[in-house]
Structure 1
């Protein structure tokens, strides 16, 4: 049986893996939705784009649900604090996500241009808004969240619920939101180039070629901003990592450049930002060369590198506090019990390979380009 400290670290890796899996799979669907108004000029072309993700989007969204469930079970304190501090942002994401299942299911029920156009814009909102807000959330985590814990470990936030959303939309968070939106849009564009046909694939190729370098640019700017203008967090005293969780038992200070400590102490960690910077440029080259399959792989590597960079920079912090740094929640003091982490770990060991195998089987069975001829032959299909 794994010891408590090791399990805490394992679950940090597993949650990060789930977030990367969500970005690669469901992020692809969101990217397609974000590109829908720009790559498709008529109903047939829009149906081509939608049908590339139609059979898979609901399965891909399971990664998002699983990541949320894993955070709830592994880090209940983080789950509770995040749902309080990011409540309005999460509601905005939820309302935007409503458009996806309804849009996919109802778009083709009525053969009327206004009806279908309305649902197409709904699919755009369901793709672009969550992609933006997820990045905004990461930007705010890096700056610190305005909460504190009292002696009973109850969470107290600064500000009211009605004004909670506006402070989240600060300049740095909007930059990271733009990074997230661009990153997922590029990934969706590569999927369209790989699975769509005709002008939809060609327009997607041109957009990927333009947007992929923007991923590198925004990622680099966010890193420079973080280095030069945003203080990080550093633990200067704490109990044993195997101790029972108590967030107030440690001492935390804020210091310039503290978010980059791990890259000084563990140079191998520099691979993550290097991949995050270089992979989008390689993606643009592969898209231009009409190699969308390899481009899709490099795009996935770029997202993994960017997400891993943020996770490594913050480690071991999960949710830093800007009001009281000692109240910050970390990998070591926000975890569930040893037994809970153990049971969940073996559940993952058993069921994750099954889920992955089923997912690969689904993509294999439904592989192929979506063409205008196929769309016209199946004018009454679900999408």
Structure 2
């Protein structure tokens, strides 16, 4: 296998891991002000992701670093063209991180409500904008022959990309709700299950609209594998919703994870061998060939990845195992 193909696959894996893990973080943050009826319940909700949220964000940092090293032209074009959107994501994530740390520094209800809403916006904004970004990658953005983005921020906004953002937002919210059914107890878990049912219906509708619009706005279905994966994601999501409805939330969460995995795989599969599609001229699209680093750089990166990625995976698996139990009000007393 060529190293450029290998790093395209690794980049797909990194973004899949990020959306899968950070997706339920976003969902929990979005639901925080609505599911928590009082300060104690909101503390319980925050504690379900407290030990893992910062580790989940490392997947995004690693994906960005891998893109910079393996496909520097894509990194340069993406970060210049999507600058404002990525800046908004960064500011939202910084605000959310600060909110997690500062919320408990004062017992004043107004203080805590302010940080709770900052956690909400710090989760909602990235969830929406990542969907817009992914939809733009496959739809195409104005890139010229010099691999430069020549559009504006508003060129990234279209009915298709906004539906993509809404679909990501709702799926992540559903994903977070199902996660909370497994990490909280009794009344809180049941409340989260009902939230999953409500958001699940909306997410299913948004996903169906997104898939339908993908036919007319992209060439994703030119790849049979990508098309099967995308429709498979819809089917698996419906199965997840059904599992949650009959109170088999563990299975529902597994299928929710599979939905995100299949969706990410479908979009990257539809992109291959491209990484960014040019809406001005298909020949100007950034591919794994015209935007990659030198073979020597890719070789060194491959050796480092093979040595370090398994260590990271084992460590993160250990963290999830240690904090696998449900969080209850009793835990706040210690």
- Report if the CA contact (8 A) 2:211-2:230 is conserved: no
Give the whole-Å Cα distance in 2 for the aligned partners of 1:141 and 1:196.
37
Give the whole-Å Cα distance in 1 for the aligned partners of 2:149 and 2:322.
50
1:368 shift after superposition: 1.0
Match of 1:272 in 2: 229
Query: What is the aligned counterpart of 1:262 among 201, 209, 223?
Result: 223
Question: What's the C-alpha RMSD, in Å, of the aligned pairs?
Answer: 1.6
Report which of the two structures shows the higher radius of gyration computed on alpha carbons.
1
Query: What is the aligned counterpart of 1:128 among 121, 124, 136?
Result: 124
Match of 1:36 in 2: 32
- Report if the CA contact (8 A) 1:219-1:276 is conserved: no
Q: With the length of structure 1 as denominator, give the TM-score of the two structures.
A: 0.84
Query: What is the aligned counterpart of 1:325 among 274, 282, 285?
Result: 282
Give the whole-Å Cα distance in 2 for the aligned partners of 1:125 and 1:107.
15
Match of 1:147 in 2: 143
Match of 2:273 in 1: 316
Give the whole-Å Cα distance in 2 for the aligned partners of 1:179 and 1:197.
28
Match of 2:184 in 1: 196
Match of 1:181 in 2: 169
Match of 2:255 in 1: 298
Structure with the largest fraction of strand = 1
Give the whole-Å Cα distance in 2 for the aligned partners of 1:269 and 1:180.
18
Q: With the length of structure 2 as denominator, give the TM-score of the two structures.
A: 0.95
Q: 2:333 matched to 1:372? A: no
Structure with the largest fraction of helix = 2
Query: What is the aligned counterpart of 1:51 among 31, 38, 47?
Result: 47
Q: 2:150 matched to 1:157? A: yes
1:225 shift after superposition: 1.4
1:156 shift after superposition: 5.0
Q: Please give the secondary structure, in 2, of the residue aligned with 1:107.
A: helix
Give the whole-Å Cα distance in 1 for the aligned partners of 2:149 and 2:7.
26
How many residues are treated as equivalent by the alignment? 334
Give the whole-Å Cα distance in 2 for the aligned partners of 1:347 and 1:220.
40
- Report if the CA contact (8 A) 1:30-1:128 is conserved: yes
1:120 shift after superposition: 0.3
Give the whole-Å Cα distance in 1 for the aligned partners of 2:269 and 2:331.
46
Q: 2:79 matched to 1:83? A: yes
Distance 1:315 1:33, change over 3 A: same
- Report if the CA contact (8 A) 2:167-2:203 is conserved: yes
- Structure 1 residues 366-375 or 141-150, which shifts more? 141-150
Distance 1:21 1:156, change over 3 A: closer
Distance 1:346 1:213, change over 3 A: farther
Give the whole-Å Cα distance in 1 for the aligned partners of 2:287 and 2:324.
42
1:328 shift after superposition: 1.0
Give the whole-Å Cα distance in 1 for the aligned partners of 2:164 and 2:149.
26
Match of 2:209 in 1: 221
Give the whole-Å Cα distance in 1 for the aligned partners of 2:149 and 2:312.
39
Where do 5+ consecutive residues of structure 2 fail to align?
A: none
Distance 1:270 1:136, change over 3 A: closer
Distance 1:156 1:302, change over 3 A: closer
1:215 shift after superposition: 3.1
Distance 1:361 1:259, change over 3 A: closer
Match of 1:281 in 2: 238
Where do 5+ consecutive residues of structure 1 fail to align?
A: 159-163, 233-257, 379-383
Give the whole-Å Cα distance in 1 for the aligned partners of 2:118 and 2:60.
20
Q: Deviations over 1:42-79 (max 9, x none)?
A: 10110010000001111111111001111111110000
Q: Deviations over 1:241-275 (max 9, x none)?
A: xxxxxxxxxxxxxxxxx332211xxxx55541232
Q: Deviations over 1:104-126 (max 9, x none)?
A: 11000000100000000010011
1:37 shift after superposition: 1.6
